[in-house]
Amino acid sequence: MSGNEKNVVLEGVRIVYRNFEGREGQYNREGDRNFAVVLDDELAEAMKADGWNVKTKPPREEGDGNFNTLAIAVSFKGRPPTAVLVTSKGRTTLDKESIDIIDMVDIANVDLIVRPYAWAVSGKSGIKAYLQAIYVTLEEDVLSKKYGDIPEIGAAPQRPALEQGYTDIPDEDVWEEED
pLDDT tens track for 17-73: 999 999 998 888 899 999 999 999 999 999 999 999 999 998 888 888 889 999 999
> Under DSSP, is residue 67 helix (H, G, I), strand (E, B) or coil?
strand
**Which stretches within the chain are classed as H helix?**
41-50, 142-147
Supply the pTM of this predicted model. 0.79
Give the DSSP per-residue string, 68-102. EEEEEEE--SSSPPEEEEEETTEEEEE-TTTGGGG
What are the structural domains, with CATH classification, of the chain?
8-142 (2.40.50)
Q: What's the mean pLDDT in 129-153?
A: 92
